Amino acid sequence: MYDFSFHRQLVNWYKKVCRVLPWRENSDPYRIWLSEIMLQQTQVSTVIEYFNRFIKSYPNIEALNQANEEDVFKLWEGLGYYSRARNLLRCAKTIVEEYNGIFPKDLQKLKKLPGIGPYTAGAIMSIAYNEPVPAVDGNVMRVISRYRMLEINISDTKNRSVFEEEVMALMGGAPREFNQALMELGATICTPKQPKCLDCPVKEGCKAFKNGTAEQYPVKLKKIQKKVVKMAIIILEHQERIMIVKRPNTGLMANLWGFPSVPYTDELPEFTVNQHMKDEFDLEVIIRELEEGPKHIFTHLIWEMQLVKCSLKNTKDTIKPIEFPEIQWVRREQLKEYAFPTAFRKLFSML
DNA sequence: AACTCGGGGCG
DNA sequence: CGCCCAGAGTT
């Protein structure tokens, strides 16, 4: 059954209230793509400045294709989910080399590109190319769950198709405006807590509103328990330079810079730290001072950071970058030139 | 299907 | 402090 009023009310509302955002200046697929990648699990207000800086450095796909990864990471610093930045470059390379610099207007081809999944592919198809394709994100699942009072678990990936079919059943036209309107509604009116139902343009047809149970949706069963990890952060200083290491190319905060770090389970980190520095870097250190650092909360774990300030035992050991190219010794004022995740940047004032 | 991957905002 | 978010990749 086609619900004409839903489409009309929603799109009219969107045209009135839609926010002025830098990636809405035009429909350039490059800008739409970049904004959608940045917006994955990230708030609009956070993305705006990152987006503007990025576009200034790399205004088009050809410019990005010639960038080096280190510079891209620096622009991404603090935004999180850093694999997005690496996939961004890989994707740019593919677009230039295999698609002549033009994003394919093809859902299946888009989905195969690095960093582009079902949501982002749908967003590019609809927002950049105005093609009638669903773009189902967390906002859309919440809006649709409430509108239809769907009792299905949005954490279950196999239910994605249910929402995609519901979206297509409601999409009467203007896919570019319609998909953005759905998300805008979820972000501003149909919010997770205390939704502003009285201001909603589609409240007449909303089952959950009629039932007075909007806040009970969407159904979400999965819950994750955060593990607490005691992390020794090793601040090794020699001749006014601090040792930093490039993190491995997989895992947490891959390829970003950090201080040598090692989890420990003892009451105190000394033993683990000495062993770690010997095993990983063949360095013997003298521990000068312990200082309790801040907690840092990730999606699935919590770091309780303990700063371990050290100096070298043998000064002839000072620098062995030949065997360990991922090590740098830098002055305090140089630290900001490297791309650090927020967990480490928090510590700069404690050094 | 379950797990991994950041950080900020909010009540 | 717990929950939420314009999700995707890996296993």
Any strand B atom closer than 7 Å to A99 CB: no
Interatomic distance A135 CA / B2 C1' (Å): 24
Provide the CA A287 to C1' C10 distance, Å, integer.
38
User: What is the rounded end-to-end Cα distance, in angstroms, of chain A?
Assistant: 64
Q: A254 beta carbon < 7 A from strand B?
A: yes
A197-215: b or e for each residue (b if 16 or more CB lie within 10 Å)? beebbbbeebebbeeeebe
Alpha-carbon distance of A86 to A69, in angstroms, equals 7
Domains and CATH numbers, chain A: 227-350 (3.90.79.10)
Q: Which residues of A are catalytic?
A: 36
For residues A305 and A285, give the distance between their C-alpha atoms in angstroms, rounded to a whole number: 19
A129's tokens: 């190319």
Please give the average pLDDT of every successive group of 10 residues along chain A, which has 351 residues. 80 94 96 97 94 97 96 96 96 97 97 96 97 96 95 89 95 95 95 94 95 91 79 95 92 93 93 94 94 89 93 74 72 95 93 90
Query: Is the CB atom of residue A252 positioned under 7 angstroms from any atom of strand B?
Result: yes
Strand B proximal to A219 Cβ, under 7 A: no
Residue nearest to nucleotide B7 (CA to C1'): A80
State the nearest residue by CA to the C1' of C5.
Answer: A41
Placement of tokens 């350039």 in the chain: A28
- pTM (whole model) above 0.85: yes
CA dist A75 and A81 (Å) reads 13
- Residues A22-59 have pLDDT tens digits of 999 999 999 999 999 999 999 999 999 999 999 999 99
